[in-house]
């Protein structure tokens, strides 16, 4: 499990308006690009000092590539990061105020305490 890397994807995409749109439109392509070129960058360090060991597990890559926020929750991705990014991508598709947020809650309705551990 690489919860840290899942979170790093959500964190770096969420803070970049262009990446938010790119991930909305082309999730699989964005995840592949990100894993091959961005995943190992240490934030605030130049590319020559990147890490060498970070990669997604297959199920993690698939959860991101299929916009599967329920799976991300089950895997212990940080729920604040997931929620914030997915609101940015999909709130606009719902007429009712908070419509997306409420559907998001409903889709997680099968989860009970204790929730998956989010510690990294």
- Which residues sit at the interface with another protein, rule CB under 8 A? 4, 7-8, 11, 14-15, 17, 42-43, 73, 78-84, 87-88, 98, 101-102, 104-106, 108-111, 113-115, 118-120
CA distance 34 to 37: 5
DSSP structure class, residue 41: P
Task: Please report how close the Cβ of residue 41 comes to another protein at its closest, in angstroms.
Answer: 10
CA distance 62 to 64: 5
CA distance 120 to 108: 22
DSSP structure class, residue 97: T
Task: Please report how close the Cβ of residue 46 comes to another protein at its closest, in angstroms.
Answer: 15
Task: Please report how close the Cβ of residue 33 comes to another protein at its closest, in angstroms.
Answer: 21
**Coil, helix or strand at residue 110:** coil
Task: Please report how close the Cβ of residue 44 comes to another protein at its closest, in angstroms.
Answer: 8
Closest listed residue to residue 60, CA positions, set 7, 14, 23, 20: 7
30 or 82: whose CB is closer to another protein?
A: 82
């Amino acid at each position: 499990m690489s919860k840290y890397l899942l979170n790093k994807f959500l964190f770096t995409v969420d803070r970049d308006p262009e990446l938010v749109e790119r991930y909305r439109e082309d999730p699989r392509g964005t995840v592949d690009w990100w894993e091959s070129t961005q995943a190992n960058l240490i934030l605030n360090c130049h590319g020559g000092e990147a890490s060498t060991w970070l990669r997604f597990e297959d199920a993690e890559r698939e959860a991101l590539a299929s916009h599967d926020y329920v799976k991300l929750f089950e895997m212990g991705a940080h729920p604040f990061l997931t929620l914030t990014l997915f609101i940015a991508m999909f709130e606009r598709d719902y007429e009712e105020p908070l419509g997306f947020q409420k559907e998001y809650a409903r889709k997680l309705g099968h989860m009970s305490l204790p929730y998956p551990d989010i510690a990294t």
